[in-house]
Amino acid sequence: MLYAVYGASGAGRGIMPLARDRLPGEELVFIDDGVAGGEVNGHPVLSLDAFLARKAEARKVAVAIADPAVRRRVVERCEAAGLGFFEIRARGVVEMDDVEIGEGALISPFVTFTSNIRIGRHFQANLYSYVEHDCAIGDFVTFAPGVRCNGNITIGDGAYVGSGAVIRQGLTIGVGAVVGMGAVVTRDVPPGVTVIGSPARPMAR
């Protein structure tokens, strides 16, 4: 089996050591068309075409790109090429009762999921984030480090929640919304809206 972390920038470099730990002895490469042909942190960097051409019985990819919209496009490109996906989960992640997470999740160290949680495909949870009880999180959602997602929260597809943000219990974060770094969210966030500050308010345009 040939495994790849798609993306050799910050998100991918943070995920590769976790993949190496969870897949000892397996061949691991980066895919990144922008810097293909070199090496990053001891792993070859291939273009997608070179990855597809490399001899292997089977191939799987983990897409480590923080921007949800870009991640979705890359996943669609991989699907069109017939590639499957795999989850990367750090040791020590805490998962309690009745937690369901879709394919392709990337879960960094010190992340906690409590109970009765539903999370979609290609979720990314960075260091020290948590998801409390009865949350429903869509596809292609990104949590930056230290996100505090309290109970009974609904987060739509493609939302991005910035580092250190706090979301009050019972709220809805709309499809494609952005919660800024350090924001304290006390009201629902409409689809596609960026909120910042404490309490969080829509960003002036």
Report the catalytic residues.
Answer: 133
Q: Pick the closest to residue 79 from 66, 65, 67, 63 (CA basis).
A: 63
Q: Are 68 and 76 in contact (CB under 8 A)?
A: no
Dihedral over alpha carbons 161, 146, 98, 175 (to 10 degrees): 0
DSSP 17-56: HHHHHHSTTSEEEEE-TTTTTSEETTEEEE-HHHHHHS--
Q: Count Cβ neighbours within 10 Å for each residue of 1-33 and write b for 16 or more, e otherwise.
A: ebbbbbbbeebbbbbbebbbeeeeeeebbbbbe
User: Where are the alpha helices (H) located in the chain, listed in sequence order?
Assistant: 10-22, 48-53, 68-80
